[in-house]
Amino acid sequence: MNKAVIAIHGGAGAITRARLSAEKEQLYIQALSEIVEAGQAILAAGGSALDAVTEAVRMLEECPLFNAGIGSVFTHAGTHELDACIMDGNTLDAGAVAGVSHIRNPIIAARKVLEYSPHVLLIAEGAEAFAQAQGLEPVSPEIFSTPERREQLAHAQLTHKTVLDHDGDEPIDPDTKFGTVGAVARDQSGNLAAATSTGGMTNKMPGRVGDSPLVGAGCYANNANVAVSCTGTGEVFIRTLAAYDIAALMEYGGLSLHQATERVVMEKLPALEGSGGVIAIDSEGNVALPFNSEGMYRGYGYVGDAPSVGIYRDQER
């Protein structure tokens, strides 16, 4: 393979065709295609994998269709707490922020942590103060809110449930429930990068942090083997170190990208009742996008090729 390529996801869950109109489905297909194309353009121009995943996730954060940045879900207290992580597979440098409420694009703040901080993970007010010192203008948390998210919170509180975008007793309505977003890429120099961002889970306890901003759990990149971004039941991805486990299976177990991702997503996660999926690109430029849920918003594209995007198991365009 050995080509520059980018892959993205917009969350995984019980996404049923019966709950998604043709018009709404087209909105997702179009958004996924445009974001893949933006990443391809960066890579085609000789840009780095780190720049490609940063821009792809920033665009996902700007799209209210997904649970990251604008369109993030609410905590039990009716607030927003956003998390993000980015990792450079060439240097193994990483940056992350968690529990932020006044940063429009958490992935940009995470990139600033990677580049200008001696630390890997900054949280809450400390992360926001650092971001402001790096020139990111603070925003009102109201910017993240949408009417659909408020309705989702009201329903969750009425039923006394903490709602993961990847779980539930009834088929998930794609109009109101989505998951983490992420991107992985391989550039023309062979460098890998990964980025993950999320608005969390509806009705969660304030202060809860999932896998998304944790290196090795929801995000990981190493030029030696693979770049991974995860979406799903955060607590299980943390307990299994899902992203790093894929890299370890490849490095120490000699498994291929396909074998390693299938082992984690289809065997290890379900064993602990974990639902969701991953996107991954290995050092040779191979792509894997497995998920054990009903659907996953996803797309990928090699430089020079048309984007391939899909939502359901039998769909790829």
Provide the annotated active-site residues.
180
For residue 188, report the phi and psi dihedrals to the nearest 5 degrees: -65, -20
Strand order across the 192-198 sheet: 121-123, 94-100, 82-88, 192-198, 181-186, 5-13, 295-302, 308-312
Amino acid at 62: E
Residue 157: exposure state from Cβ atoms within 10 A (0-12, 13-18, ≥19): middle
Q: How far apart are CA 23 and CA 128, in angstroms?
A: 38
Cα angle 39, 31, 210; round to 5: 80
Length of the chain: 317
Q: Convert 267-311 into a string of H (helix), E (strand) and C (coil).
A: HHHHHCCCCEEEEEEECCCCEECCECCCEEEEEEEECCCCCEEEE
Strands 287-288 and 121-123, by their bridges, are unpaired
Residue the block writes with tokens 């991805």:
237
Helix (H, G, I), strand (E, B) or coil at 215: strand
Residue the block writes with tokens 């690109």:
281
